[in-house]
């Protein structure tokens, strides 16, 4: 599927970009629940996850063999699902596109890439610090409504970092032409 190839290409470009490195390595996430405790390479310093350590972990495995599924629908209410510390990632395309449809018209492959990058951090061993879904997680100017999770939850923040980078790369640069 052509879109699937684009999604993976975009996710790769994001993770390997200076923008992503600069965005993540300056952050800290002050909640020990960010660590799923399924990967002993996830490091905590005084219950804090350092973005720089997460960034290092991201590149520890050079060529991960991921089992990625892009599914149309699901009874699961989330945008994707990744059993922790597995390489089995499922992204629910309709849910993702519905969730992000108001966000500055990113193209279909880009919005799925936002989810894939988020899910990959679950694969690395990072968990959510909340157990409920965040409904209507949007703000009119294109960012999260839940600032607590934005600040403290690394996988949640990864999604927004990727979204912000794509927004800068795709939408703003397109406007400048």
Residues of this chain that bind Zn ion (CB under 5 A): 155
Evaluate whether 51 touches 29 at the Cβ level (below 8 Å).
yes
Output the smallest distance, CB 83 to Zn ion, in A. Answer: 12
Q: How far apart are the first and last CA of the chain?
A: 29
Smallest separation, CB 91 to Zn ion (Å)? 11
- Report the alpha-carbon distance of residue 103 to residue 106 in Å, rounded: 7
Q: Which two tokens stand for residue 82?
A: 């990744």
Which residues have C-beta within 8 Å of that of residue 83, sequence separation ≥ 6? Answer: none
Query: What is the pairing mode between strands 67-71 and 88-92?
Result: parallel
Minimum distance from residue 20 beta carbon to Zn ion (Å): 18
Instruction: State which residue, 96 or 165, has the beta carbon closest to Zn ion.
Output: 96
Q: Which residue is nearest to Zn ion (CB)?
A: 155
What the block records as the tokens of 152 is 């403290």
**SS3 assignment, position 38:** coil
Smallest distance, Zn ion to C-beta of residue 128, A: 6
Question: Least distance in Å: CB of 155 to Zn ion?
Answer: 5
- CA 158 to the chain's CA centroid: 4
Q: Which is nearer to Zn ion, 151 or 171 (CB)?
A: 151
Tokens of 131: 């157990």
């Amino acid at each position: 599927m052509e879109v699937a190839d684009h999604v993976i290409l975009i996710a790769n470009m994001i993770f390997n970009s200076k923008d992503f490195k600069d965005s993540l390595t300056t952050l800290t996430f002050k909640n020990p629940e960010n660590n799923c405790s399924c990967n002993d390479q996830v490091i905590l310093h005084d219950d804090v996850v350092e973005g720089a350590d997460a960034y290092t972990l991201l590149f520890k495995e050079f060529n991960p063999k991921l089992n990625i599924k892009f599914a149309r629908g699901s009874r699961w209410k989330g945008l994707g699902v990744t059993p922790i510390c597995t390489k089995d990632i499922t992204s629910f395309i309709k849910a993702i596109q519905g969730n992000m449809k108001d966000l500055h018209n990113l193209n279909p492959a880009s919005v799925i890439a936002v989810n894939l990058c988020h899910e990959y951090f679950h694969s690395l061993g990072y968990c959510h610090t909340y157990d409920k879904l965040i409904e209507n997680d949007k703000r009119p100017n294109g960012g999260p409504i839940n600032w607590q999770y934005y600040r403290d939850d690394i996988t949640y923040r990864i999604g927004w970092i990727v979204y912000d980078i794509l927004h800068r790369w795709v939408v703003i640069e397109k406007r400048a032409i």
